[in-house]
Structure 1
Amino acid sequence: MSTENEGTAVPPAPSAPPVPVETPAASAQNAAPEGGAPTAQIPSVPPGAPGAPGQAPAYASTGTGTPDPYGHGAGTPGAQGYGSGAPGGVPASEAGWPPPPPATPSYADGGGSGAGGWGSTYGQPAPKPKNGRGGLVAAILVAALVAGGVGGGIGYSLAKGNDSSTGSTTVSAPSNSGDVKRASGTVAGVAARALPSTVTIEAESTNGEGGTGTGFVFDKQGHILTNNHVVADAVDGGKLTATFPDGKKYDAEVVGHAQGYDVAVIKLKNAPSDLQPLALGNSDKVAVGDSTIAIGAPFGLSNTVTTGIISAKNRPVASSDGSASSKASYMSALQTDASINPGNSGGPLLDAQGSVIGINSAIQSTSGGGLGGSSQSGSIGLGFAIPINQAKHVAQQLIKTGKPVYPVIGASVSLEEGTSGAKITEQGASGSAAVTSGGPADKAGLRPGDVITKLDDQVIDSGPTLIGEIWTHQPGDTVKLTYTRDGKTRTTEVTLGQRDGDS
């Protein structure tokens, strides 16, 4: 299993459908989780993706009817979903955790393009090697031997005159035995410093299923930061190991995991005393065009280094592993064209100085199968990382209490497309109020039917986008919401509430 959520940008995603934004007056049945509400294939949210409309809480509510504990609504006919089909709405205060967005067609299926990043699947963890791995290694060894045979004997013979029977003179190319020094600011320099603090994680469930992902040293106490979907198989009594580039392997245990954020912290057992945590950068200061370096174990190939740039910021991404029991993760991601594949999940995305600016979590894929499908494609230059500023706060909370904390606005919003904003539904789950009485949204004067179009200066084009942006904040933060009501644009300030845990 690869721990890479193959995620998709707001376009349609095979396994992870995009969150529809525009919704006609939402019904109780379509109500979605409240706006406060790993790597998977992420397609852009195409205009008018097929599938039954659903609604998501602005991290708040789940579907009506008889939603499951996570607020997944009835399945969307003919659509491949993140887990369940179209989600419904759940009151912010009771929202367990946002249901997956409606299914989105993959690029191969004609999925539309778009600026969004939502509806993607986790970049699956790299499957555990079986007999096939030997063939790959053998092929690599053969190639190396061939290269050595050709390049090792750089020499030639000069025949003296026309006499082929006499001796010959061999001229050998000069060799430089001196060490090559690389500046600390080069990719090679950054990789040399960062690799020793990066680990390949193998997670195995009690029934033997599992996969490979990546993580990196967070502190000297032995905490490793990674994706939730990387360690999910080992959460309930499974086996977890972390292997450093020098081959040293350690057993580990899950300290805490956050499904919504797709962040997890594990701790090494008998951790060595010489651990070197990677320096954390400031993801808020990252600019489009900045250089990026990704480290991970794509398809199980540990300690792989790839490079690229920041292609976009604040890319709304919803990802999942495509399984029936899967719950979606939402993020306002950093987009990069550095090659990221299943197995890269949980690995660090570094800046040119070697500081961590994000956790690689999802990828867009042209494959129609998604994580739950029969095939899995590689990188197409669309990778998504959780900003480190957000991941750092989540990690600190997990280390402190073992459970995540989510900021919420206390209102259910629609997950449908085409609304040009996040629309507060008419009802929450099971007929409950869409706006929690006495909650943040209620105190700010928001009511059903309002369409939120901006959070501070960030444009909001859908319910999932709102959820991802709210989650970049902390409970207690005050944000400015711009919304429309009866054709008029209004603004209000909302002090974010709090929800503990994923359920």
Structure 2
Amino acid sequence: MSTENEGTAVPAVPPAPSSAPAAPPAPAAPPAAPAPAEAEQTLVHGAVPQPEGSAPRPGPDPATTPMPATPDAPAPAQQAYAAHESAPSQGGVGWPPPPPTLPSYGGGGHGGEPWGAPQPPAPRRRAGGLIAAVVAAALVAGGIGGAIGYFAADREDNGSGSTTVASSNTPKDFKRDPGTVAGVAAASLPSVVTIEAQGNDGEGGTGTGFIYDKEGHILTNNHVVASAASGGGKLSATFSNGKKYDAEVVGRAQGYDVAVIKLKNAPANLKPLSLGDSDKVAVGDSTIAIGAPFGLSNTVTTGIISAKNRPVASSDGQNSKASYMSALQTDASINPGNSGGPLINSAGAVIGINSAIQSAGAGGMGQSQAGSIGLGFAIPINQAKNVAEQLIKTGQPVYPVIGASVGIQQGSGPGGGGPSATDGAQISQQGNASQQPITPGGPADKAGLKPGDVITKFGDMPIDSGPTLISEIWTHKPGDQVPLTYKRDGKESTVTITLGERKGDSN
């Protein structure tokens, strides 16, 4: 961190001489040039290396964790997690440093020699003296201007003719345009709620949600309400005006990390947020995130869309099941407690649900950071909307499937995973006691896929891992026909696969 004058020595300016000197002063030798102060150094963190052999769209780390609601006690940080955990304070003592001393021109204008005091006549006209006089005159001239400005602004109104114009307060008719951050925030905040969830054991946390319809349905993350979903749990939603309502879970989709809750005794004046089209989002578009980071309700942060179709596998650490998304990546500050909140574009429309962040990993003192590092991930609203409609209608999610089991390791090709493996998602060679690697009569079986095949492309998207494949499959609907490219014995082939369906999160 630096300031404009930091690391630069400011030479002192000699004060103007007295108005009535006793005798002309003798010429003074030019002062020695001050030694420049050592510039302060600022450490810049090194870039995170990328794995070799990654495909155009690198797959997520299976250990990536969604942002959970802010808990009562900090949870261990994971590579990417739901926004619910606290980060250690990193404040320092003695920062920032005091500002550098500035020169006082012409006596400073308050006490000492008067501004613009006359200079004594020089005893001899020499080149060096002339240069010094010119420099002094320039500094004193600056002091005179400053003194006049101060006098004009500070004087009493003793007569007419003053040209001083005082700055006015904000005009009463000042309005913020709808497209500004302030305008979007003002319109959106009344439709965003802070969710408090508590389980039977007393554990829970804080997250965010937003009004989905006038019936009182609220869209949020599954991991925000999971602790209260079991019998006896408590759930409430608080609006930006402080009004609090009890709520109940309508349906949850653990794989999508989407949930719908409903207000009990919902007010009649609910205003749902407008939903945008996440398929039309472009990298560089402005974003606004609203949530309750670390329990600080009604917090607004801004950024841009950093990337699209980012495959992310996340887990809240409470069970072995993971959630998968082909996410919108944003650098808007997202922290524990932002989970379930809206990611909004400059038009005020929701384009995503803030769900996960990438953590910085272990710190140098054996601690882990659990705060924003500019890598936040949101579920595209087009996908979240489809899931929400399913949950409202039936209470359970529907997943598109290909009817085949794949490895979840990064680079899960024939090489067994790791940098040397062939990029792609490999269909398992063997199944387990309850499931075969390819479901007989399922979509993959009908398309001619075999155990050991490596899927390298799904639709238009390159596939580099099992999580990437799952993320892409779940952007579609059951019944969609999608081209699929795979490798078998070094030969590449493309087939069209018709997606099947799976209901619920039991499998």
What residue in structure 2 maps to residue 136 of structure 1? none
The alpha-carbon deviation at position 406 of structure 1 amounts to: 0.7
What is the deviation of 1:194?
0.8
1:425 aligns with 2:400: no
Higher mean alpha-carbon deviation, 216-225 vs 286-295, is at 286-295
Map residues 172-211 of structure 1 onto 2, 5 A cutoff: 174-211=168-205
Alignment partner of 1:192: what SS?
helix
1:328 to 294, 299, 322: 322
Q: What is the alpha-carbon distance in structure 2 between the residues aligned to residue 412 and residue 462 of structure 1?
A: 12
Q: CA deviation at 1:401?
A: 0.6
Structure 1 position 291, deviation (Å): 0.9
Q: Is the 8 A contact 2:479 2:500 kept in 1?
A: yes
| 1:247 maps to 2:190 | no
Gaps of 5+ in 2: 1-47, 75-108, 115-153, 158-163, 414-422
CA deviations on 1:431-476 (whole Å, 9 max, x unpaired) are 8421111110000000111111111101111000000100111111
Equivalents in 2 of 1:365, 1:199: separation in Å?
Answer: 25
Could you tell me which residue of structure 2 aligns to residue 235 of structure 1? Answer: 229
Separation in structure 1 between the aligned mates of residue 327 and residue 443 of structure 2, nearest angstrom: 25
1:436 paired residue number? 439
In 2 relative to 1, CA 118–386 (structure 1 residues): closer, same or farther, beyond 3 Å? farther
Change (3 A) 1:48 1:241: farther
User: Using the alignment, how far apart are the partners of 2:195 and 2:229 within structure 1?
Assistant: 13
CA contact 2:59–2:410 (8 Å) conserved in 1? no
Q: Which amino acid aligns with 2:194?
A: T
Alignment-mate amino acid for residue 396 of structure 2: K
- The CA deviation string for residues 386-421 of structure 1, in whole angstroms up to 9 with x for no partner, is 000000000000000111111111001112233310
Superposition deviation, residue 232 in structure 1: 0.5
- Looking at structure 2, the residues matched to 445 and 208 of structure 1 have their Cα atoms a distance apart, in angstroms, of 51
Shift of 1:375: 4.8
Task: In structure 2, give the amino acid aligned to 1:243.
Answer: T
Query: Please, what TM-score do these two structures have when normalized by structure 2?
Result: 0.67
Q: 1:357 to 1:436 in 2, by over 3 A?
A: same
SS of the equivalent of 1:317 reads strand
| 1:350-499 equivalence runs, <5 A | 350-368=344-362, 375-418=368-411, 419=413, 420-430=423-433, 432-499=435-502
Aligned mates of 1:129, 1:303 — CA distance in 2: 22
- Give the residue type in structure 1 aligned to 2:265: N
Q: Give secondary structure in 1 for the equivalent of 2:433.
A: helix
Q: CA deviation at 1:206?
A: 1.2
Q: Is the 8 A contact 1:128 1:212 kept in 2?
A: no
Take 2:58 and 2:391, find their aligned partners in 1: how far apart are those partners?
32
The aligned counterpart of 2:61 is 118
Deviation per CA, 1:50-101: give whole Å up to 9, x if none: xxxxxxxxxxxxxxxxxxxxxxxxxxxxxxxxxxxxxxxxxxxxxxxxxxxx
> Cα gap change, 1:422/1:176 in structure 2, threshold over 3 Å: closer, same or farther?
closer
Aligned match of 2:289:
294
Q: Which residue identity does 2:350 align to in structure 1? A: V
Counterpart amino acid of 1:354?
Answer: G
Q: 1:314 aligns with which of 309, 313, 324?
A: 309
* Equivalent pair of 1:128/1:300 in contact (CA under 8 Å): no
Q: CA deviation at 1:115?
A: 3.6
1:266 corresponding residue in structure 2: 261
Work out whether residues 158 and 169 of structure 1, in 8 Å CA contact, stay in contact via their aligned partners in 2: no
Distance 1:191 1:129 in 2: 30
Which has more radius of gyration? 2
Shift of 1:122: 1.5
Taking a change above 3 Å as real, the CA distance of residues 443 and 241 of structure 1, as seen in their structure-2 partners, is same
For residue 48 of structure 1, report the CA deviation from its aligned partner: 10
Give the conservation status (yes or no) of the 8 Å contact 1:129–1:300: no
Q: State the SS of the aligned residue for 1:449.
A: coil
Q: With the length of structure 1 as denominator, give the TM-score of the two structures.
A: 0.68
> In structure 2, how many angstroms separate the alpha carbons of the residues matched to 1:350 and 1:244?
18
Question: Distance between the aligned counterparts of 1:208 and 1:259, measured in 2?
Answer: 22
Q: Deviations for 1:2-45, whole angstroms, at most 9, x for unmatched residues?
A: xxxxxxxxxxxxxxxxxxxxxxxxxxxxxxxxxxxxxxxxx998
Aligned-residue sequence identity (percent) comes to 70
Residues 319 and 330 of structure 1 are in contact (CA less than 8 Å); yes or no, is this contact kept in structure 2? yes
Task: Say whether the 8 Å CA contact 2:57–2:464 is kept in structure 1.
Answer: no
Residue by residue over 1:94-129, the C-alpha shift from the partner in whole angstroms, topping out at 9 and shown as x without a partner, is xxxxxxxxxxxxxxxxxxx98444331121212349
- The change in CA–CA distance for 1:454 and 1:207 in structure 2 (over 3 A counts) is same
Q: Within 1, Cα distance between the matches of 2:49 and 2:479?
A: 32
Q: Which amino acid aligns with 2:478?
A: P
| In the alignment, structure 1 residue 501 sits paired with structure 2 residue 444 | no
Kindly tell me: are residues 129 and 219 of structure 1, through their superposed partners in 2, closer, same or farther at Cα, counting changes over 3 Å? farther
Query: RMSD over aligned Cα, in angstroms?
Result: 2.9
